[in-house]
Structure 1
Amino acid sequence: MEHQSVQLFTRFKLTQARYKSKIDWLFHQFPAFQKQGGIAYKPGLSHTKKLLNHFNLDITKLKAVHIAGTNGKGSTCSFLSSLLTEANHKVGLFTSPHIFDFRERIRIDGAMITQTEVLDYIEDVQALKLDFKPSFFEITFVLAVKHFLDQGCDYCIFETGMGGRLDATNVLQPVATAITNISRDHTEFLGNTPEAISKEKAGIIKANTPLFIGKKEAHSFPIFESKSKKKDAILHVNQNQYPFEGLPKYQKENFNLALDLFDFLSKRKSHPDNVEKALQHLEQNTGYGLRLECVAESPKLYLDVSHNDVGIQKSIEYAKNQTKGKLYIIFGGAKDKVYSDRTLEVLDNTQSSLCLFSNPRSKSKEDWENVIRLLENEIPVFSNLREATAQIKSKLSEEDTLLITGSFFLISDYKPSFW
């Protein structure tokens, strides 16, 4: 019995080592936006189509929902997935980026793809004689398609990686598309104005396929309306106003959009029991978490992955409204991020600290010092999240709140032992 336990443990350790080796190869062999930023961006659909053909994958067999937007697209994907799971459907969910484990990107009813499936697939990719170099995202997307087809999913919910028109996911032939909201992000690829970005996002609109949007925005609605007419795609503007408890205002908008999609897919109005269960079992059904999640009380600790101006400002506003005492912020950012005057003003007028993270895309101390020169107040810069959390926690009263925000990468450095 003891010998068998040793064998199992040894086999487990070998699998873990092999898995880590293959994931490292995946990150380093091909560009990955999560590690390298803009140089990893490969717009266009030809590589994705070729890779799908190499694996003989028929994308038309997926009953897919394709969701784009600047903020809220990942939340909307997760909300819709949970609603469908609670309605007894088998649901594939593809989102990005991951926080702790690559497999978070690909789930069915909340269960991550297995290490064995990832290992086998990467080895198959390594064995292919390709005349092109697919990107990390293209490889990962095709793995999701393969997994969902192999497992016979009823519905598959896909979040775009960046933009829409030239995103790898845009090879999908979905039964519905959705766009959450539009603001400035990834401007070096998608354009410098909300209108230009809207045109890129509108690229996911398909012929005779309904488009769902959360609300009419002056800079984006005329573009979506025009493109929908050209494509004979019926445009639905969200009308749901479900009375939620405990969700931030902006998340209510995302959930109501998900409800619109669910009602269309199921051809019936959502039952209140199904809605409540979808929210109650959200993490179990989708793995969704760490998007403005309160993980401790007295004092409160919020972990949040907002990483552009609009999302960051909304998270700070929400956290301020939830605290009885002072709000403290630990803020991290990627090297290529430029923040608006409004975001800098909010940080300048809050008990804020800046923090580096372990991912190579982190702003350096010198980068942050250049930002600080634009502010009125001196803001400390910490070299790692453990140090920042320890120092700030020592200052907090039971009525205070600490918000850690600004980047997926900063949150991925957090460990419960820090608190």
Structure 2
Amino acid sequence: MSRQFMASDFQKLLKDLYSLQRLGIKTGLEHTQQLLDACGNPHHQLKFIHLAGTNGKGSTAAFILSILRATGLKVGLYSSPHLVRFNERIRVNGVPIADEKIVEYMKLFSADIRRIESTFFETTSAMAFWYFKQKKVDVAVIETGLGGRLDSTNVIEPKIAVITPISMDHSDLLGNELKSIAREKAGIIKEKTPVISSHQENAVKNVLVQKAAEVDAYLMFVDSPTDCTISMAGTFFRQDDLDYQLTLIGEHQAQNASLAVAAVREFGSPVNDDHIRIGLLNATWPGRFQVLSNDPHVIYDVAHNEQGIKSILKTANNIFEKKPIGLFALKEDKELELIANVIHGKFGKLLVMDDEQGLLMRSETLSMNLSKHGIAAELMKRFDDFTSYLLNGHPGIIFGSHYMAKPVFEHFQFPFDTGVI
């Protein structure tokens, strides 16, 4: 197969894959299991670490992957959404799945996908398990896409379940109360399977304790790290009398790292303190308080819900002397009222932007909705205009959506995809 044919073939099949999004999100795991049956049930031959939660899943997964890699293991990672390329979702030792492998999978199983009417997430989850079996990974780190109980990844029997902080998000699908969201996330807890959770609000904690008791699962809550200091150089913290350093920035990243350390220790891999230190220091996860420019300071973060945005504002307040200039974009389905309460008065100026593809709320609509909460927001059409607002030492923060990643990285010439992410 020629390289040119392969490229066109890949684009066509990728378009077919994205078209499955029209089927939306289905409840139940039956279709996922049917597709996996057609694929030979690759998940039956893999070891898994399964993550659910509202915020921090990606960063925690990246820390786990990096620590396990430091021990010499071959590690698969399945995460979502991607920032620039679909291939990012499925990686082995940090290397995204090749275009050729996506083409191979889609050609092998396209008839089954059509017959079963598999959704986008069902199809990509099965693809990840199929690929990880082919690559003979020692362990696969799996993020839920949405919720947990009925998420397409919940067909697996993990060696350990990891729960990151749970807060309000996707309430239209998961419920309007924190405890109902927690019940969905707790759905990944399996019988007699260890569960490692970050610190949670009492309503969430009670749900997790009850679920663990029902299935006789060992449950541990990880203490918050101590002596945490952050700067543009990274994050330093202490946990269990050991000092650690991260290149990722923010107190919340120290919490994610502490959760990852506890998970890896419980997983039982041959890990020592040096593996952990090296793994945490080498871990990267783009789009999380990502420094795009140092003169002026420009930060990009995909945070798109109340707690995520609280974390980046707390980080910015600890690092910068002056209020940031914000550039905000948001999907229609997000909890704008909760977000508005968080960002009110936190920016020297707030700008709003949308996208050409229509995936984000129109900037005029976002500005109007923010004004209802007493927040003035100015419309911005081009990234070129953003740095003109960053005068007299005011940093800039671009936040609110994964969909901003590609144009942001292109504009600031950020070398995102170098083969290993």
Q: TM-score, normalised by structure 1?
A: 0.88
Question: Alignment partner of 1:414: what SS?
Answer: helix
Question: Alignment partner of 2:199: what SS?
Answer: coil
* Preserved CA contact (<8 Å) 2:71 2:270: no
Q: How many residues align?
A: 394
Gaps of 5+ in 2: 226-238, 414-421
- Give the letter aligned to residue 208 of structure 1: K
CA 114–377 in structure 1, closer or farther in 2 if over 3 Å, else same:
closer
Q: In structure 2, how many angstroms separate the alpha carbons of the residues matched to 1:396 and 1:129?
A: 49
Deviation at 1:345, TM superposition (A): 5.5
Gaps of 5+ in 1: 1-7, 33-38
Matches within 5 A, 1:8-407: 11-28=2-19, 30-31=20-21, 40-128=24-112, 130-239=114-223, 241=239, 243-245=243-245, 247-266=249-268, 270-271=272-273, 273-283=274-284, 288-341=285-338, 343-344=340-341, 346-347=343-344, 349-350=346-347, 351-383=349-381, 387=382, 389-397=383-391, 399-407=393-401
Q: In structure 2, how many angstroms separate the alpha carbons of the residues matched to 1:53 and 1:89?
A: 27
Q: In structure 2, how many angstroms separate the alpha carbons of the residues matched to 1:194 and 1:54?
A: 37
* Preserved CA contact (<8 Å) 1:98 1:104: yes
User: What are the Cα deviations for residues 281-334 of structure 1, in whole angstroms up to 9, with x where unaligned?
Assistant: 223xxxx21111112212111111111111012112212322233411111001
Q: Which moved more, 1:233-242 or 1:174-183?
A: 233-242
CA 395–129 in structure 1, closer or farther in 2 if over 3 Å, else same:
closer
Q: In structure 2, how many angstroms separate the alpha carbons of the residues matched to 1:89 and 1:255?
A: 19
Question: Alignment partner of 1:220: what SS?
Answer: helix
Question: Alignment partner of 1:150: what SS?
Answer: helix
Deviation at 1:81, TM superposition (A): 0.7
CA 395–361 in structure 1, closer or farther in 2 if over 3 Å, else same:
closer
Q: In structure 2, how many angstroms separate the alpha carbons of the residues matched to 1:202 and 1:105?
A: 23
Question: Which residue does the alignment assign to 2:418?
Answer: none
* Preserved CA contact (<8 Å) 2:352 2:377: yes
* Preserved CA contact (<8 Å) 1:358 1:409: no
Deviation at 1:22, TM superposition (A): 1.3
- Give the letter aligned to residue 86 of structure 1: A
- Give the letter aligned to residue 24 of structure 1: K
- Give the letter aligned to residue 139 of structure 1: T
User: What are the Cα deviations for residues 14-44 of structure 1, in whole angstroms up to 9, with x where unaligned?
Assistant: 332221221111111x126xxxxxx722121
* Preserved CA contact (<8 Å) 1:22 1:122: yes
Q: Which moved more, 1:95-104 or 1:310-319?
A: 310-319
- Give the letter aligned to residue 353 of structure 2: C
* Preserved CA contact (<8 Å) 2:27 2:150: yes
* Preserved CA contact (<8 Å) 2:330 2:360: yes
* Preserved CA contact (<8 Å) 2:79 2:90: yes
Deviation at 1:338, TM superposition (A): 2.6
User: What are the Cα deviations for residues 246-276 of structure 1, in whole angstroms up to 9, with x where unaligned?
Assistant: 54111111111100111122356641x3223
CA 411–44 in structure 1, closer or farther in 2 if over 3 Å, else same:
same
What is the identity percentage for the equivalent residue pairs of Structure 1 and Structure 2? 28
- Give the letter aligned to residue 48 of structure 2: A
Q: In structure 1, how many angstroms separate the alpha carbons of the residues matched to 2:341 and 2:208?
A: 32
Question: Which residue does the alignment assign to 2:235?
Answer: none
Q: In structure 2, how many angstroms separate the alpha carbons of the residues matched to 1:365 and 1:402?
A: 18
CA 107–31 in structure 1, closer or farther in 2 if over 3 Å, else same:
same
* Preserved CA contact (<8 Å) 1:72 1:254: yes
* Preserved CA contact (<8 Å) 1:93 1:108: yes
CA 100–213 in structure 1, closer or farther in 2 if over 3 Å, else same:
same
Deviation at 1:116, TM superposition (A): 0.5
